[in-house]
Structure 1
Amino acid sequence: MKTLLKNAREQKGLKTREVAQILSIDQALISKFESGTRRPTKEQVSKLSQLLEIDYETIMVAWLKEKILYEIENEEFALKALLLAEQEIQNNRKEINSVILSSLQVSLDEIEILKNQIQSFNPFETRQISRALELDFIFKSIRFNGNSLTLEETKSIINEGLTIAGKSMQEQLEAINLQETISYIKALIQKKTPLNEKEFLAIHSLLFKGIKPENSGKYKNDAITAREINLLFNWLDTHKNTLHPLVLAAETHLKITSISPFEHGNLQMASLTLNWILLQHHYVYAGTDSNEESIAEYVSVLEHSQQTKDTSIFTNYILRIEKENLVRAIELVSK
């Protein structure tokens, strides 16, 4: 942990005196944390995590490890006690996860019924749904990011290849790039390509092609981002076959927004990755409406879920959006 704190501070270009002043912690204590002669309190760990931009989970694991070692490292039966403690923690965790899943299960069951209904439609109807929802997702996504194109203008650019007078080329390029990115994702799904880091970067590059070329397809240049991205894809590989796809998609979105690995486009990448997972498993797009009220709700739910470390808050939000879009998809055919 001492190395984690010191490296993060130096990467931020801060002196121990500056950290002490900002956090109202004695400078001598900061130095002792970095030398390993003192352990910070949990509250101090939280403050250090925010200031030095260290992933909260990473620093808490290091802090707890040192706390455990301090208490039992030299005890004769330490390893046996740790094994028993691990078993009890795992059992408790399973019970908690079971409760959370039960609270989501009603929504998941309702979504499956709607999804199966759509899958019973004929190929013409499913293509009709796919085209309509894809255009809607593109429109909502670019509007969410401040693009002024209307739905009809977006449709003309995407479906007819027209150029819209009075609209900037960047705005039109945002719509074109997103449509091409979605086509790329659908091609990956058709080839059964798993979600991986190489394609994650390729998608970011496509999304900002001709807009922000200097940073497209590149992470922020720091060791913390590299480590967190590595942990993300390890987590995905571990959980892709054990978590429900909707839960996996929502939690992946949360992790990407927490890491914020790019200089720009982190929310867009989180949304696209979420929808990549959904489309992989034959769900429909889950996109936030572009009106102010919906955007404010999305931001509020996202922040609340991250601050409380309660992923079920954001997962429930995504389940609601997915259900609404499935209902809308069925209505498109019923009209």
Structure 2
Amino acid sequence: MKTLLKNAREQKGIKTRELAQLLGIDQALVSKFENGSRKPTREQISKLATALDINFEELMIAWLKEKILYEIGTDDLALKAMLLAEEEIKYNISYVRKSLSKNLQVLLNEIDELKSKLDNFRQFDSYRIKQALELEYTFESNRIEGNTLTLRETDLVINEGLTISGKSMREHLEAINHKEAIDYIKQLMDKNTSLIEREVLAIHNLILRGIHPEDAGRYRKVQVMIKGSTHMPPQPFLVAKEMEDYFIWYEENKSKMHPIVLAAEMHERLVTIHPFIDGNGRTSRLIMNLILLQHGYVIANIKGDYDSRMKYYQALETAQTSNNKEDFLVFIAQIEKESLERYLSIIQPA
């Protein structure tokens, strides 16, 4: 792979410094990729393929081959282990492909093309753009749950520290808390922290801080019903076990699924368990977006207007009551596609 990278860079007439800028990494790291002393990450492989016009599949195969050889070396039992692994990989691939509809697969392909384009323009990204989009996310996510602050009022509360006349203290706290929760998931993303119970409880604690302090970051102890839904969440004594299974499922599937599907599944599964008295929707959407950000995608911002909210709730209801997640997965994929398109329209040079 190291020869492939170097030859492609030289053929394009790109210097290591220029390639490093395109990838958003140190120049020394590019040199290490080319001399074989350091292996790129999966995300960096995607960026390298785009920047150097290398066939992604060809580069990915070369990367995986080297990764496998590094792990198994020349052990006498390596070939036998490879044969067993081959059968399991074939089974997993077959299972994943069968579980995705043609419509969803087309959407995922379009999303990954958009992400690849976005990766080429990361250098035009800025703190101000992210700040504005995160403000919109806070506004929309709270609006879904009934918060009546406008986008401008949300900005004044978060960034100017102002109090809006006629709006409740809860609505002010929801805006402030959600902004802090976004900052927290960005910290988790930067640290590449795995999703564990402690982090989910910490996110929920931020969401309900000062609103329901006795319930913030704690699983519910009473039975709840979801307004407007026929889905009945599990009894409170089952919540801890359901959440344990939730994290086990994540660990077993996080490397098998497309990140969009994984993020949507983790959202749906959490909100279906409904482990908290309040704040389940906002926490579930934050978990979903943490996973998306960790994989290099952008925040999927579900709008809070009536039509968008109804489509969202209906897709969730179908997933929860008919064991058919297709509508919800497609809904989330479409939201992510639209979010990527908008992000690109903002940062892409004219």
- Normalising by structure 2, we get a TM-score of 0.66
State the distance in 2 between where 1:91 and 1:190 align: 33
> What is residue 321 of structure 1 aligned with on the other side?
335
Equivalent residues in 2 for 1:221-300, closer than 5 Å: 221=221, 222-300=236-314
Runs of 4+ in 1 over 3 A off after TM superposition: 90-97, 126-129
State the distance in 2 between where 1:213 and 1:317 align: 33
Q: Deviations over 1:251-290 (max 9, x none)?
A: 1111112111111111121111111111111111112211
Amino acid at match of 2:186: K
> What is residue 129 of structure 1 aligned with on the other side?
129
CA displacement at 1:306 relative to structure 2: 2.1
**Structure 2 contact 92–256 (Cα < 8 Å) conserved:** no
**Structure 1 contact 189–280 (Cα < 8 Å) conserved:** yes
Q: Deviations over 1:286-318 (max 9, x none)?
A: 122111111111111111122221222211110
> What is residue 217 of structure 2 aligned with on the other side?
217
State the distance in 1 between where 2:211 and 2:101 align: 44
What is the SS of the residue equivalent to 1:220?
coil
State the distance in 2 between where 1:246 and 1:311 align: 13
> What is residue 99 of structure 2 aligned with on the other side?
100
State the distance in 2 between where 1:112 and 1:262 align: 34
CA displacement at 1:122 relative to structure 2: 4.5
Distance 1:322 1:219, change over 3 A: same
- Normalising by structure 1, we get a TM-score of 0.69
Q: Runs of 5+ in structure 2 lacking a partner?
A: 1-88, 222-235
Structure 2 residue 174 is matched with structure 1 residue 160: no
Q: Deviations over 1:106-155 (max 9, x none)?
A: 21111111112222225453434322221111010111111111111111
CA displacement at 1:329 relative to structure 2: 1.1
**Structure 1 contact 119–126 (Cα < 8 Å) conserved:** no
CA displacement at 1:219 relative to structure 2: 0.3
**Structure 1 contact 100–312 (Cα < 8 Å) conserved:** no
Distance 1:224 1:91, change over 3 A: farther
> What is residue 28 of structure 2 aligned with on the other side?
none
State the distance in 2 between where 1:207 and 1:124 align: 31
Amino acid at match of 2:147: N
CA displacement at 1:94 relative to structure 2: 6.3
Amino acid at match of 2:206: L
What is the SS of the residue equivalent to 1:284?
coil
Over the matched positions of the two proteins, sequence identity in percent amounts to: 43
> What is residue 21 of structure 1 aligned with on the other side?
none
Amino acid at match of 1:331: S
Amino acid at match of 2:190: Q
> What is residue 315 of structure 2 aligned with on the other side?
301
Q: Deviations over 1:146-205 (max 9, x none)?
A: 111111111122222322233222211110000001101101111111111001101111
**Structure 2 contact 315–331 (Cα < 8 Å) conserved:** yes
Who wins on radius of gyration, i.e. which is larger?
1
Q: Deviations over 1:196-245 (max 9, x none)?
A: 10011011111111001111110023331111000000111111111111
Q: Runs of 5+ in structure 1 lacking a partner?
A: 1-89
What is the SS of the residue equivalent to 2:210?
coil
State the distance in 2 between where 1:295 and 1:311 align: 17
> What is residue 143 of structure 1 aligned with on the other side?
143
